[in-house]
Amino acid sequence: EPEVTQTPSHQVTQMGQEVILRCVPISNHLYFYWYRQILGQKVEFLVSFYNNEISEKSEIFDDQFSVERPDGSNFTLKIRSTKLEDSAMYFCASSVEVNVLTFGAGSRLTVL
Amino acid sequence: DQQVKQNSPSLSVQEGRISILNCDYTNSMFDYFLWYKKYPAEGPTFLISISSIKDKNEDGRFTVFLNKSAKHLSLHIVPSQPGDSAVYFCAASEYSGAGSYQLTFGKGTKLSVIP
């Protein structure tokens, strides 16, 4: 069964450092997303991406965040200067046209 | 502002019995509702969904009911099995343009099915 893969599974970084989280969406999907879940809280939408550009972003997705699809398969989330409150599980997801998103297993980011 | 609310953080059910997970929403623009299941160390996995034009959708042991007037939906699992033990997230979506669907999640309900 096709799946969304994410790397790394866990990243520990120092505050102020740049972090790149990587995702390989399902190959025939056209829409890509990043969500995050801070420990003990709900899963929150960050950004959606279609046709090589951001289609929507939340208030969380400020200038410190960026997304890129550098080639035909990868979809990355970059956090330029990490803060303590960026510590969370980051989920990549992809979809075709329907509402059903397929999520990856997540990348846990710990900012010290 | 919690647009999607799951008021029960946890639920314990005996194996073989019915599990009922509830969800309330406030945004009347939501037009599609989904349930996701999440095991520890894994991402949310799609379980079942329902369009706002329907009031019931069934898939095997899982049935989702939607009451639009009450802005309430529920997930019924019958019979419950120990493997159903997981965190269940209610999610709602509205079309946000360019084919993109932004999901708004509830906080989740942890279901424990006791053998």
Are B107 and A101 an interchain contact pair (Cβ–Cβ within 8 Å)? no
Q: Tell me how far apart the terminal alpha carbons of chain B are, to the nearest angstrom.
A: 37
A56 CB neighbours in chain B (<8 A) are 96-97, 100, 102
Q: What residues in A contact B96, CB-CB < 8 Å?
A: 48, 55-56
pLDDT digits (tens, 9 = 90+) for B53-83: 999 999 999 999 999 999 999 999 999 999 9
Q: Which residues of B touch A101 (CB under 8 A)?
A: 46, 101, 103
pLDDT at A94: 93
- Cα separation, B11 vs B113, in Å, equals 8
Per residue in B13-61, pLDDT (tens digit) is: 999 999 999 999 999 989 899 999 999 888 999 999 999 999 999 999 9
Q: DSSP label at A85?
A: G
Q: Which residues contact B29 (CB under 8 A, 6 or more apart)?
A: B94
Q: Do A48 and B96 touch (CB under 8 A)?
A: yes
Q: For residue B112, name the pLDDT band (cuts at 50, 70, 90).
A: very high
Q: Does A97 have pLDDT greater than 80?
A: no
At A5-30, the pLDDT tens digits run 999 999 999 999 999 999 999 988 98
Which token pair is B43? Answer: 């991402």
- How many CA atoms lie within 13 Å of B69's alpha carbon, on the beta-carbon side? 0
Q: Do A44 and B105 touch (CB under 8 A)?
A: yes
